[in-house]
Amino acid sequence: MKLLEYASKEVFRRFGLPVQEGKLAYTPEEARRVAETLKPPYVVKAQVPVGGRGKAGGVKLAHTPEEVEEKARHILNLTIKGVPVKKVLVTEAADIAHEYYLGVVVDRRNNQPVIMVSAEGGVDIEEVARTKPEAIHKLAVDPIWGLSDFQARQLAFRLFQDKKKALKAAGIIQKLYRAFQEVDAQLAEINPLVETPEGELLAVDAKIVVDDNALYRHPDLEQMRDMDYEEPKELEAKAADLSYVKLDGTIGCCVNGAGLAMATMDVIKHFGGEPANFLDIGGSSRPEKVIKAMEIITSDPNVKVIYFNIFGGITRCDDVARGLVEAFRTMEVKVPLVIRLTGTNEEEGRRILEESGIPLHTARTMSEGAQKAVALAQQAG
Ligand code: GDP
Ligand code: MN
């Protein structure tokens, strides 16, 4: 789960990292009122889950609350990398002498967190990594021992010659690492870490990505989940214990097991179709889950055909069949449905479907089902 800048800063604040005063606003007027409680000058910043907001015009300086209102009006009308801006963060502006980069990320190859620092901050760090890799200093941290003070100081001295500043930066690196570890982050990043003309250091931008698998340990962070930007159907699916990811194609998929779901999408693509979603109904197949899955899939207007690919193990084919019959009884299904049902209780499942008389295209194999689904999607245009 990606935390937006304002939420990431909230977390940083808890860990004692230096961040500017500021507050969220949903309207230009609200932005002005926030500014009235702060010291000028101000920055108005689009809160969207994508980077490069500055370049896209989503970060603007303002000198008066009226100007904040004007800038907020402009930014709230922007769409940045396909994401419409729904709220802005209004903060006190920092004076910038230099911009640095600080980040902690999980290095999957070495199974260790890696700290990265660079004096080339503010800009896209991937760009720096490509064009000037020597400008990024890295340190792998042993997760058991943690980050020692001397290691943090070593990194800090890569950025600052002045001892006082380096020690201050070392403290910030330590706090960033602590925050990263305590919230079970996959990424915690400050870009830029700003040095002011007075020699202060400030986290001007913040980004935290929390490992979804650890969210149950952080109900407070779960609350920061941004409903403004989440796909509502994905949340609904999560509540029903289904894994659903919306995609852009026309073939709605309903599968049991993540591996089979991936394979099904591959096979659909192999035969020239495009999946409309990834949907894993999971191991147990209570009929209610199948009904919910049908509701979610059919609510996507792009779906031209539905493909059920069920390989019964713990999942029982008769349960899936009952769920489908119930779904057809309670909702109007306007698109054709292809089903491949095999494994535990498959005869029982087939019998239930046949007796129900619901309109189905059946298939014996995954490939056959995918081909039928692709053909039906093409017929539907
Ligand atoms: P990003 O473009 O999405 O990474 O957004 P940032 O928060 O990093 O802001 C982009 C750029 O705007 C920064 O690199 C700064 O140059 C500038 N900026 C952001 N906040 C301030 C501020 O408080 N004062 C000044 N002078 N510039 C800022
Ligand atoms: Mn940034």
Residue 245 clears pLDDT 70, i.e. is over it = yes
Q: Give pLDDT, residue 284.
A: 67
> What is the distance in A from the centroid of ligand 2 to the CA of 83?
17
Nearest-atom index, ligand 1, CA of 56: 2
Per mean pLDDT, which range of 26-40, 130-144, 233-247, 308-322 is the poorest? 233-247
pLDDT at 241 over 70: yes
- CATH for 231-379 is 3.40.50.261
Positions annotated as catalytic residues are: 101, 189
Question: Is residue 49 in contact with ligand 1, taking CB distance under 6 Å?
Answer: no
pLDDT at 302: 94
Per residue in 46-73, is it b (16+ CB within 10 Å) or e — as a string?
bbbbebebeebebbbebeebebbbbbbb
- CATH class belonging to 21-92: alpha beta
Question: What is the position in ligand 1's atom list of the atom closest to the CA of 122?
Answer: 14
Tell me: the pLDDT tens digits for 151-165? 999 999 999 999 999
Q: Give the number of the atom of ligand 1 that is nearest the alpha carbon of residue 96.
A: 26
What ligand has the least distance to the C-alpha of 100?
Answer: 1
Residue 68: the pLDDT is 98
pLDDT at 153: 98
State the distance from the centre of ligand 1 to the C-alpha of 341, rounded, in angstroms.
54
Q: What is the residue whose two structure tokens read 């029903």?
A: 240
Task: With a cut of 80, say whether residue 374 has pLDDT above it.
Answer: yes
Q: What is the pLDDT of residue 236?
A: 85
93 lines ligand 1 (CB under 6 A): yes
User: Per residue in 107-118, pLDDT tens?
Assistant: 989 999 999 999
Q: Which residue has the CA at smallest separation from atom 6 of ligand 1? A: 205
Task: Give the Cα separation of 107 and 121 in Å (integer).
Answer: 21
Answer whether residue 10 shows pLDDT above 70: yes
Please state the domain extents for the chain. 21-92, 98-222, 231-379
Confidence of residue 309 (pLDDT cuts 50, 70, 90): very high
- Specify whether the CB–CB gap between 309 and 253 falls below 8 A: yes
Q: What percent of the chain has pLDDT over 70?
A: 99
d(CA 310, CA 320): 8
C-beta 99 within 6 A of ligand 1: yes
The CB of 192 under 6 Å from ligand 1? The reply is yes
What mean pLDDT, rounded, does the chain reach? Answer: 94
pLDDT exceeds 70 at position 215: yes
Question: Is the separation of the CB atoms in 296 and 257 below 8 Å?
Answer: no
Of the pLDDT bands very low, low, confident and very high (cuts 50, 70, 90), residue 226 is: confident
Which residue from 195, 204, 208 has its CB within 8 A of the most atoms of ligand 1, so it is best to mutate? 204
Residue 192 Cα to ligand 2 midpoint, Å, equals: 6
Confidence bin at 286 (pLDDT 50/70/90): confident
* CA–centroid distance for 199 within its chain: 35
* Candidate from 43, 55, 92, 118 with most ligand 1 atoms within 8 A of CB, to mutate: 43
Q: Rounded to the nearest 10 degrees, how much is the dihedral formed by the CA atoms of 296, 301, 303, 305?
A: 100
pLDDT of residue 285: 66
Q: Which of 203, 207, 174, 4 is nearest to 99 (CA)?
A: 203
Region for residue 100 given its phi and psi (left: phi exceeds 0; alpha: psi -120 to 50; beta: otherwise):
beta
> 98-222: which CATH topology?
D-amino Acid Aminotransferase; Chain A, domain 1 (3.30.470)
Atom of ligand 1 nearest to the CA of 51: 3
CA-proximal residue: ligand 1, atom 20 (nearest): 204
Q: Residue 94's pLDDT band (boundaries 50, 70, 90)?
A: very high
Distance from Cα 255 to the centre of ligand 2, integer Å: 39
Q: Which atom of ligand 1 is nearest to the CA of 46?
A: 3
pLDDT at 189 over 70: yes
CA 354 to ligand 2 center in whole angstroms: 58
Does any ligand 1 atom lie closer than 6 A to the CB of residue 122?
yes
pLDDT for 238: 84
72-82 pLDDT, tens digit per residue, is 999 999 999 88
Could you tell me if the CB of 267 is within 6 A of ligand 1?
no
Ligand 1 contacts CB of residue 88 (under 6 A): no
pLDDT score for 288: 85
Calculated CA dihedral for residues 157, 159, 162, 165, nearest 10 degrees: -100
What does the pLDDT average to over 135-143? 96
Q: From the CB of residue 374, how many other CB atoms can be counted at a distance below 10 Å?
A: 23
Q: Which two tokens stand for residue 337?
A: 């449905």
**Measured CA angle at 222 (ends 15, 30), to 5 deg:** 80
Taking the centre of ligand 2 as the mean of its atom positions, its distance from the CA of residue 222, in whole angstroms, is 23
Q: What is the structure's pLDDT at 231? A: 74
Point out the ligand nearest to the CA of residue 57: 1
**What mean pLDDT do residues 320-325 have?**
93
pLDDT band at 252 (very low <50, low <70, confident <90, very high): very high
- pTM as predicted: 0.76
Rounded mean pLDDT, 30-37: 98
Residues 6+ apart with CB under 8 A from 300: 233, 246, 252, 276, 277
The rounded Cα 318 to chain-centroid distance in angstroms is 35
pLDDT for residue 98 is more than 70 = yes
How far does residue 50's CA lie from ligand 2's centre (Å)? 10
H/E/C letters for each residue in the chain? CEECHHHHHHHHHHCCCCCCCEEEECCHHHHHHHHHCCCCCEEEEECCCCCCCCCCCCEEEECCHHHHHHHHHHHCCCEECCEECCCEEEEECCCCCEEEEEEEEEECCCCEEEEEEECCCCCCHHHHHHHCHHHEEEEECCCCCCCCHHHHHHHHHHHCCCHHHHHHHHHHHHHHHHHHHHCCEEEEEEEEEEECCCCCEEECCCEEEECHHHHHHCHHHHCCCCCCCCCHHHHHHHHCCCEEEECCCCEEEEECCHHHHHHHHHHHHHCCCCECEEEECCCCCCHHHHHHHHHHHHCCCCCCEEEEEEEECCCCHHHHHHHHHHHHHHCCCCCCEEEEEEECCHHHHHHHHHHHCCCCEEECCHHHHHHHHHHHHHHCC
pLDDT average, residue stretch 223-232:
79
| Percentage of the chain modeled with pLDDT above 90 | 86
